[in-house]
Amino acid sequence: MLILSRKKDESIMIDEKIEIKVISIEEGKVKLGISAPKHIEIHRKEIYLEIQEENKKAIIGNINLDGLRSLLKK
C-alpha cells in the first residue's frame, strides 16, 4: 500500500487519467474530489462490497435456477 500525505487543495494522480483532490478537512473527516473518465466506476468501499455480495447472490441464484430447469426437463 502506498501512503501519501496531502493538504487541502493538493492532489494525487493515478495513471494520468484519475485525479484525487483533498477538498476539505474538518472535524476528523476528509472530503475528496475525484476526477476520472466516465467509464471508470467509483464507489465507497462499503457500497462496493455490497455490490459484490449482491452479484454473488445473483450468480448462485442463476446456478440454482439452471439446476432446477435441468431437473424439470427430465
Q: Which amino acid is at 67?
A: G
Where are any strands of DSSP class E within the chain? 11-14, 18-26, 29-35
Is 20 in the same domain as 53?
no
Report residue 50 as a C-alpha cell.
455490497
CB under 8 Å to 14, separation ≥6 — which residues?
20
Distances (CA, A) of 18 to 21, 54, 73: 10, 27, 51
pLDDT in tens, 18-37: 999 999 999 999 999 999 99
Mean pLDDT of the chain: 88
Domain assignment of residue 50, given as a range: 43-74
Please indicate, yes or no, whether residues 4 and 34 belong to a single structural domain of this protein. Answer: yes
For the chain, the domain total comes to 2
Against a cut of 0.85, is the pTM above it?
Answer: no
Instruction: Please state, in angstroms and rounded to a whole number, the distance separating the CA atoms of residues 44 and 49.
Output: 9
At 14 the pLDDT is 96
Domain match, 29 and 49 both: no
* 33 lies in the same domain as 62: no
